[in-house]
Amino acid sequence: MKRKFSFVIIVLFFIISCAVITVNIYFPEKDVKEAYKLLEQELMGTDEKTDETKPESKPESSIKFELIPSAYAQESELADKISETVKKMPEVVKAYKEMGDMLGDIDRIRDSGFVGEGNNGLLVIREGTLAPADKKLVDMENENRETVMKGMAKAIIKINRVRENEANINQVMPQAVEQFASIRRDSAKKGWWIQDTSGNWTKK
């Protein structure tokens, strides 16, 4: 009887040890969106004029910092912390720089109307057939975007101090994609095609 009981205990222990434990990971949407913007400005050079005016705004921001609650101040610093974490990932930095180098060509392709900004954060060919060279550019852009979004997911995992594994990355990826796609829609120029969260296409 004792042997049977011991066997049951061992089996139960084995089952519990092999069970997949779901970890709830905090995802700060606003800070992630802001971190994406900061990374684009710095690594892609999309807002050089804004960067030039930053020194003049320092005194004003320091005054505001003293007037607002400390909790809010901590939240505002989270975007910087996330972007700094991402910048420690060489593959993501490389992806951003390549996207910056190709920006002119990608804008030209978006201007043509053949591709649109998909709700998955990627460029989607909507109609017609792209020239081989343009198709290659779109594929490279999408590959870099996937690297960026995955890098953001990894950064959120590190911020939460949980294990970086496939299950945790998969849990965070949909939100990392959603915020990246949201920025692409917001920054789209007039005349570009964008896809909303329901899958509907509209011309901005």
- Percent of the chain at pLDDT above 90? 71
Has residue 10 been placed in a domain? no
Has residue 48 been placed in a domain? yes
> What is the three-class DSSP state of 202?
strand
For tokens 């997949």, name the residue.
20
Separation of CA 161 from chain center: 18
Q: What is the pLDDT of residues 155-190, one digit of tens each?
A: 999 999 999 999 999 999 999 999 999 999 999 999
Is 128 or 193 the better-scoring residue by pLDDT? 193
pLDDT at 29 over 70: yes
Q: What rounded mean pLDDT belongs to the chain?
A: 83
Burial of 68 (0-12, 13-18, 19+ CB in 10 A): exposed
Q: Structural domain tally of the chain?
A: 1
Contact residues for 112 (Cβ-Cβ < 8 A; gap 6+): none
Q: Which domain holds residue 176?
A: 22-203
Q: What is the pLDDT of residues 70-93, one digit of tens each?
A: 443 445 699 999 999 999 999 999
Has residue 178 been placed in a domain? yes
Is 83 or 47 the better-scoring residue by pLDDT? 83
Contact criterion met (CB below 8 Å) for 79 and 34: yes
Has residue 41 been placed in a domain? yes
Has residue 6 been placed in a domain? no
Q: What is the pLDDT of residues 148-157, one digit of tens each?
A: 999 999 999 9
> Taking the model in full, what pTM does it have?
0.77
Q: For 123-134, what is the mean pLDDT?
A: 93
Has residue 1 been placed in a domain? no
Has residue 8 been placed in a domain? no
pLDDT at 59 over 90: no
List the beta bridge partners of residue 193.
Answer: 116, 203
pLDDT at 35 over 80: yes
- pLDDT value, residue 127: 84
Alpha helices, H only, the chain: 2-18, 29-43, 48-52, 54-67, 70-86, 90-101, 103-112, 132-160, 166-187
Has residue 47 been placed in a domain? yes
pLDDT at 94 over 50: yes
Q: How would residue 144 be classed by pLDDT, with cut points 50, 70 and 90?
A: very high
Burial of 103 (0-12, 13-18, 19+ CB in 10 A): middle
CA distance 36 to 203: 24
Tokens of residue 16, six digits: 């519990």
Edge to edge, the sheet with strand 115-117 lists 123-125, 115-117, 193-195, 201-203
